[in-house]
Structure 1
Amino acid sequence: MFTRRAFLASAGAMVGSAAFAGAKVLPAPARALGPAVSPAAEGVKEITLSAAERPFALPCFGGRTVQLWTFREGAFPPVVRMKLGETLRAHVENLIPREGEHITVHWHGIRLPNAQDGVPYVTQRPIEPGESFDYEFTPPDTGTFFFHTHCNTAEQLERGLAGVLIIEGDETEPYDGERLIVLRDWSIGPDGGIGSFYSAEGAGRAGTFGEIRTANGAVNPTLNVPSAADIRLRILNVDRTRITQLGIEGAECAVVAVDGIAVPPFPLKAWRAGPAMRLDVVMRTPAPGGSATLYDYYAAEPVPLATFCTEGPPLRSRDFDPAPLRAAIIPEPGMADAEHLRFDFSAAVGAPVPVTGGAPETGKFIGELCLAPQTFWAINKQSWPGRDHSTVPPPLATLTRGRSYVFTLANATPHIHPIHIHGHSFKVLKSNKRNLPVHHADTVLLMPKERVEVAFVADNPGDWMFHCHIIEHQETGMMGILRVA
């Protein structure tokens, strides 16, 4: 069994040491990415998402029925699958039975036109109760993504307003199956309804945690898988707060994509994933009658999240050599002439940033629903406006369209922050504290007092949100705008 002492010896690294008793250390797979992905489909994928209050009796609720806010009847989370090259046309209805509870839908990780990004007052007018809005875009990348609301997110995400978006077409060889694993906490109050989703203590520290740890709506569910098979696991952390350190005991595994974007396969030892981060893993399942377990090691004791039990005859007999995915087509930043910018993530200093410069000219006004009652956090000493402001603040930086940038993301706090940039996939280059693999991502963790460098081409025009994805941090100041013009 894994021991806490063995785990803690490796917990400082994103790709940790496999120093657990009985763990098998795999050689690094040598297979390169497949040829770049190109669209193989055409047409339109039409869906309807109706945000409404619905009764759900998820297995983790212990026989209780809880009123959730969800996008679809009978499905949590809803899963939308489409082919690369298809256009998504999503009709979103707001049927939430609470006056003033408006919504938008943000398509997390998708490099899409700014007007479709789903940020109220910045990219669109919010969808008020009884209204609807049509999103339409063609995703340029394959992979594992998700969608969620982007205002009053702490409550709306906790109540269930999220879904999974999978863009198919990246496999070089077919795997023997696929399993989706959606991780999140739930909090149930004394009245049997959704419990705490915000606290001043949590917002000012590491966030407010749910009491029930789940995968696919269940506590440590058992997932049946074929024996001795190569199975693709799409693992999503859609929690508001929880940082996880993912590892699998009892099976050989390799990471093949991070935040939906392919990486050359490398052994999964221990991968730290914050809210909104995704990990695609190929697992060689055990022999017939065997089992393997997905753990979170970022805890006082390892927490089992899901157990895989094999069934049927073995499908593969050769050594584990996972097929890589196809490369994504993401512009390569020019490092020689890239502009370097630094962003410091810190506790708030004084009052939130006053609205100056060009922001009032945009005519973008923030409604009461999108403003937090307190301010704790800042980016470059600027905090997203609190309740005493009425308009969107000026951008933290204005980037020249088509130019390459290297951002130094510096964490000046004693807490972890998953930092997300809308509308772009960036290349994670290096850390001053950890040995990070170079990979593309849309969200990157900043450990306490850590500096991480990321690079990207600012090729997508518009005003893009730049924020911590611990939602209480986002809503209490650690958010701003990057303008690409």
Structure 2
Amino acid sequence: MLGSSAQSRPAWTAAPLPPAVEPGAPATHDWTFEAAEREVALLGADAPPVKAWTYTPEPFPVLRVRRGDRVRARLVNRLSEHVSIHWHGLRIPNAMDGVQYLTQPPVQPGGSFTYAFSPPDPGTFFFHPHCNESGQVGRGLAGILVVEGDERRKPDRELVVAVKDWRLGPDGRFLDFVTPEGASRAGTFGTLRSANGRRSVTETVPAGADLRVRLLNLDATRVMEIGIDGAEAAIIAVDGHAIAPVALDERGLETWRMGPAMRLDLLVRTPKPGGTARISDYFSAEPWTVATLTATGKPVRKAPLDPAILTRPVFPEPDLAGAERLAYTFTAASDSIASYAEAIGEDSVRRVLMDSLCVRDRTFWAINKLSWPNAADPRLPPPMAMLAAGRTYRLELVNATPHPHPIHLHGHVFRVLTSSIGGKPVYAADTVLLSPKERVEIAFVAAPGDWMFHCHILEHLETGMMGYFRVV
């Protein structure tokens, strides 16, 4: 959420963002990912390495394409359990969405699968598996995808920062990723915080320069309150999609709250020579420094900061006048709440048996009083709703619990229209954070396919707070 000094923000919103520039001839990218166990130094050079799971030899690889490029990504599984790649936030064909049993068969140990798509939206995205997420992502199985093509003016430099906690004991071994206490409340938190696989990011930057920071929350549980001190800065994109710039106060008073799976793009005017700025999470018991920026050299720019460097997003805009309204309430489950299959009945189109990686043996959460199946009923449930492709839907999302829930819709970009808490502009996203007791409205244009809809606190989606829409 935003801080209290909104009346002091610069008038950056006076001019609308310009339209996007059409991409040129597409390039082709051929990638191979090998999901495997690899040793990673997380606790420092003097500590034993951690046996992480990664898609590439380096954790959290940063891959870059341009909007409209052709991507062919072959996933080879060298692990002991099946995996996939879900391309979080990308509007790509449903068959490429990477959800085991729903959009593709699991990639079994020794097997492979090739994803082929062209990213239609520029922005900051990431990728991860979609069964046993708490364990697989908990061990580090994730990567970053930057889709270029949204800048009308280039910044002087760019910095990508991926934040993730690790559940590690003093010996470097992983602790349990899921606990009943955590899964039934706000999640099981890590013991070691990190940015880009280190305890924090320390970066030497040009003085007086425009620095674009792509910040990703890749944690399974943690909600962060992002602010900056020591530099002028603005939020220029949410979940990869440009917004009219929103100021971050250089005293740390203006902040933006982001839950797991959410991304923020910042434009930072770096300090004067010798100065230091800190991007911090103020939601912790004690502020935690995500990145320290130390400025050096002669100032690059003399003109005041103008953060409106991006072009307008290109996703289909919802037609609010013709929107169909639906409502979804996120609650704790109870003994009276059955699985989808029991409550709605058999799905005549699809009845697939899932395995233990895709269901849990406990149920704590529900959407509209229905929970994703547990181990007692491993059938793929029917969809929560049947939607029509090309039609606009306006969803009311209600958090009836005392815990936050970052709600993610696969394969779509939606407009966040209203909030009972207020304080934010209308913006585009693929994941929206519902604070306790908050009521939010979103709107989107439905695309064909079976699309997951769930909380992105990984223990919550694994213990009931998950479903999917079928768009025909």
Question: Could you tell me how far apart the structure 2 residues matched to 1:198 and 1:28 are?
Answer: 46
Counterparts of 1:379-398 in structure 2 under 5 Å? 379-398=367-386
Correspondent of 2:53 among 61, 64, 69: 69
Find the residue that maps to 2:114 and give its secondary structure: strand
Question: How many residues of Structure 1 are paired with residues of Structure 2 in the alignment?
Answer: 463
Distance 1:194 1:360, change over 3 A: farther
Q: Which residue of 1 aligns with 2:197?
A: 217
Question: Could you tell me how far apart the structure 1 residues matched to 2:471 and 2:114 are?
Answer: 24
Find the residue that maps to 1:159 and give its secondary structure: coil
Q: Which residue of 1 aligns with 2:75?
A: 92
Q: Which residue of 2 aligns with 1:344?
A: 329
Q: Which residue of 2 aligns with 1:316?
A: 301
Correspondent of 1:128 among 99, 108, 111: 108
Counterparts of 1:39-438 in structure 2 under 5 Å? 39-58=23-42, 63-73=47-57, 75-96=58-79, 98=80, 101-268=81-248, 269-350=254-335, 351-355=337-341, 356-359=344-347, 361-438=349-426
Structure 1: gaps (5+ residues): 1-13
Distance 1:477 1:60, change over 3 A: farther
Q: Which residue of 1 aligns with 2:471?
A: 484
Q: Tell me the amino acid that sits aligned with residue 294 of structure 1.
A: I
CA contact (8 A) 1:264 1:324 kept: no
Distance 1:360 1:120, change over 3 A: farther
Q: Tell me the amino acid that sits aligned with residue 445 of structure 1.
A: L
Deviation at 1:217, TM superposition (A): 1.4
CA contact (8 A) 1:240 1:469 kept: yes
Q: Which moved more, 1:349-358 or 1:210-219?
A: 349-358
Q: TM-score, normalised by structure 1?
A: 0.93
Deviation at 1:28, TM superposition (A): 3.1
Question: Could you tell me how far apart the structure 2 residues matched to 1:152 and 1:477 are?
Answer: 13
User: 1:101-134: CA deviations, max 9, x gaps?
Assistant: 1011100000010000000000000000000000
Structure 2: gaps (5+ residues): 249-253
CA contact (8 A) 2:156 2:209 kept: yes
Deviation at 1:191, TM superposition (A): 4.2
Find the residue that maps to 2:137 and give its secondary structure: helix
Q: Tell me the amino acid that sits aligned with residue 76 of structure 1.
A: P
Deviation at 1:300, TM superposition (A): 2.1
Deviation at 1:60, TM superposition (A): 5.3
Deviation at 1:25, TM superposition (A): 4.8
Question: Could you tell me how far apart the structure 2 residues matched to 1:90 and 1:339 are?
Answer: 36
Deviation at 1:67, TM superposition (A): 0.6
Distance 1:316 1:131, change over 3 A: same
Q: Which residue of 1 aligns with 2:18?
A: 34
Deviation at 1:358, TM superposition (A): 4.8
Q: Tell me the amino acid that sits aligned with residue 285 of structure 2.
A: A
CA contact (8 A) 2:43 2:49 kept: no
Question: Could you tell me how far apart the structure 1 residues matched to 2:456 and 2:338 are?
Answer: 19
CA contact (8 A) 1:60 1:214 kept: no
The percentage of counterpart residues that share the same residue type is 52
Let me know the Cα RMSD of the aligned residues. 1.6
Q: Which residue of 1 aligns with 2:2?
A: 15
Distance 1:314 1:106, change over 3 A: same
Q: TM-score, normalised by structure 2?
A: 0.95
Distance 1:462 1:216, change over 3 A: same
Distance 1:400 1:158, change over 3 A: same
Deviation at 1:39, TM superposition (A): 2.2
Q: Which moved more, 1:355-364 or 1:429-438?
A: 355-364
CA contact (8 A) 2:340 2:371 kept: no
CA contact (8 A) 1:360 1:391 kept: no
